[in-house]
Amino acid sequence: MADSADTATPSLLDIYLALSHIGGPNAGPLAPLAGEAAEETPRTHVARLANGEWRVFIRPDLPDAIRQQLAALPPVALFSDSARVASILAPGDTGDTGDTGDTTASSAANTFGADLWIGRTLLFPDDLAPALARRPPGDIVRLAPALDGGDTYGAPAPVAERLRPAIAPADEAPPAREAFPGEQFAALMDGLVVATCESARESALAAEAWVRTLPAARGRGYATRLTAAWALDVRRRGKTPFYSHHRENSGSAGVARALRLIPFLEDVGYL
């Protein structure tokens, strides 16, 4: 008889964490994702859920002394005192202020640079029709993957054979959940692909959005409609769509507001 833990339905948090560096049932915490280099995986990750719950993960391959120092900090310190955490991970390199320092996450970003992620993750509402109804979706399309795997963002509009309706017809059978189609949702303007939305990460259970808009095409609602169309397609394929963005990315935050996304968690990751 199978162990009940093996057949338990994963929670929404477990599904997201497995999509974002925390590893699946056969991988340890903060295990590298497929195709990623080890240095792209956080050494420490702390998440604060919308309901107030905390989750803290520390890479098992860190030196014991560093693991012990990190484990001794309360979650709120790992979350908000980024300079202190950075000084533990890289002593002498991050302007350690010691126990008396009162350094905020934003100032720590200046010393820890690109090695610090401070972000938010949100869920999509059940009804995405209002986002698509802001304008007819006729100028947004779904693109079949290019044979060479090239990125269409900012490129001339692809040939007609690659264009598909942004909203899949009811009679179009979805692929298996284990398949990752690699499609892009694109906005076309003046013969160019001016905005795209696609999966930044995808598993058999979930996907995370990655949306981009050329400066000249911003403010037209393309990102909102493309992301809504992407999320609908993710659901059509039996998966949960997530939307994440850096806390200081005002453009992505605006898309989240326009889509009426639901706060799920805030997190900090140290690479």
| Residue 22 pLDDT | 65
Residue with tokens 């639901």: 262
| Residue 43 pLDDT | 86
| Residue 218 pLDDT | 92
Q: How many residues does the chain have?
A: 271
Q: 163: phi > 0 → left, psi -120 to 50 → alpha, else beta; which?
A: beta
pLDDT above 60 (res 1): no
- Do the Cβ atoms of 208 and 19 come closer than 8 Å? yes
Over residues 4-22, the mean pLDDT reads: 73
At 67-104, the pLDDT tens digits run 999 999 999 999 999 889 989 988 644 333 333 333 33
Band of the pLDDT at 125, cuts 50, 70, 90?
Answer: very high
Over residues 119-125, the mean pLDDT reads: 96
State the span(s) of the chain assigned CATH 3.40.630: 129-264
What CATH number is given for 129-264 in this structure?
3.40.630
The average confidence (pLDDT) of the chain is 83
pLDDT above 80 (res 25): no
Tell me the three state secondary structure of residue 221. Answer: coil
| Residue 31 pLDDT | 58
- Do the Cβ atoms of 88 and 69 come closer than 8 Å? yes
- Do the Cβ atoms of 70 and 94 come closer than 8 Å? no
Band of the pLDDT at 4, cuts 50, 70, 90?
Answer: very low
pLDDT above 90 (res 243): yes
Band of the pLDDT at 13, cuts 50, 70, 90?
Answer: confident
How many percent of the chain have pLDDT more than 90? 56
Please give the DSSP secondary-structure letter assigned to residue 112: H
| Residue 146 pLDDT | 78
25-29, 84-88, 214-218: range with lowest mean pLDDT: 25-29
